[in-house]
Structure 1
Amino acid sequence: MFIGGKGDLIPKDIFPIEEDLKMSLEAWIRNCNYSFQLLQQSEFSPIHIKIPIMPFTTQQQVEQKAWCDLFTLSNWILEEIRAKIIHRKQLITLPRVILGDSSAVQLTKEMTNIKALTNEEEGLSGIIRAISSVILSSKVKGLLIVIGRDALIQNVNLETIQENFNRIREICSPYTHLQILWAIPPYIHSKKEEYEELIRLMPPLLAGTNIKLGLVGENGRSLGEVFRYGESFAGHRINKNGLMTEHGVKAMLAWIYSVGSFSRRKRRRKEEDPFENCSC
């Protein structure tokens, strides 16, 4: 235990390791009601533990660095403990996550270093279970949502779709530490009226939330028009039922990278764009 005194001068061969820290912090959280409540109140936010003042002299920099490194690990370890003890869910650590139906599956095939939360077999309820069963950690920098095509093809009514979309919004909104882009589904010519009604529902659905709607970029470029050709559909990119071709997948990803909120957000380093460096 770190006490902030001479007792912290520990021989190198018995210095605490990460596993020791995990065991100590987990035991502390399980047995201290106050600490448990504090961790519970943090919900999904990244954790930042303040490193205590070190009692070491300038000649003891090795010991000071060892303790600082160990305390720095505490932030992540407490996230793991929170997911395990409080949320009791799987913790996602990849920098990018995509949530959705068959359209999301198509996009995933052209992306790397990404966690796919998809469920084509169980429809909207399966997608809700997929996102409900995990926690997006502080290591996740971006969430891309693409849903709607399968529900319209399966003749799910718009009221039911909206109810499920509301639930997905409620689940994702608490993740304020990452960028969230909810892209409209690819154009479905065979369900033209239903598709256009669905698109009209989305702006009010996301109004006032931290979720960005992927519909029209700041420069006026529309994602929906990527798949249209006049009053029909662009056959080289999509079929009448909204199934994208390889060209269509790349065109949609290009819109997301260049026009969507991820690349438009101000950032100090290019690599902070969570979807900028995906292969497409």
Structure 2
Amino acid sequence: MDIEKQETIREKIVSSKTRIAWVTGGGTGIGKAGAQALLADGWTVVISGRRADVLKGVADELDAGGKPVEAMALDVSNADDVTKVAQAILAKHGRIDLLVNSAGVNLPKRSWEDVTQDGWDQIVDINLNGVMYCMRAVLPAMRAQKDGCIINVASWAGRIVSKMTGPAYTATKHAVLALTHSFNMDECVNGLRACCLSPGEVATDIMKNRPVPPSDEVMARMLQPDDLGKTIAFIASMPPHVCINEVLISPTWNRSFLAM
């Protein structure tokens, strides 16, 4: 059987099975929107986040109509807990086909003048270490499957250095970009692929942590969570032979271009 026919058969098998997605940061913003879009596309979705009460509320909301969504509380900066949640998903479903690393944080005190050691550590632990912990936790199962997709939500600040986001956030998002490309270099031979999704300004709760929060009028001109949800679902819908290595997406009214 030639390679093209083998790939067609494998894609049919993948498309016909129950697809399991694990979305961190699934209680708010981009993660929640991604979970919603994936559910609409027929995925079984497990959402994780630090606040169990918020997760339950989101799961109840997204479960309207009996959609297959589950909630598992998790602090991604705790490597042992990440492993436990991944193992629990595998024990129940037998596989993880998609990981969306959407958990992220920034702090109001973020400039070189204001950043503290504790603040730096918190951002690095969640934005970078947490991404790596989750990738590492799903890797054995994805290798065994010879199939799997990872979407790492980074930032426009991961491509273009910005004073607005501060050194810790900017450094972690640049690192996530490099981590994603490094993963593809090593794991493409195992049929695995990862995408670094780097949005410009998105109207989510993280905007409230800016030193000067943007107005409602400004937020309305930003990317909206649903825009990123659709993007996540699109990346996840690609067949196994397609790797979307990176997506750089911004509002049309891009304040970094306007020097505002």
> Structure 2 length as normaliser, TM-score?
0.45
> Structure 1 length as normaliser, TM-score?
0.42
Higher RCO structure (Cα 8 Å, ≥6 apart): 2
The structure having more radius of gyration, on CA atoms, is 1
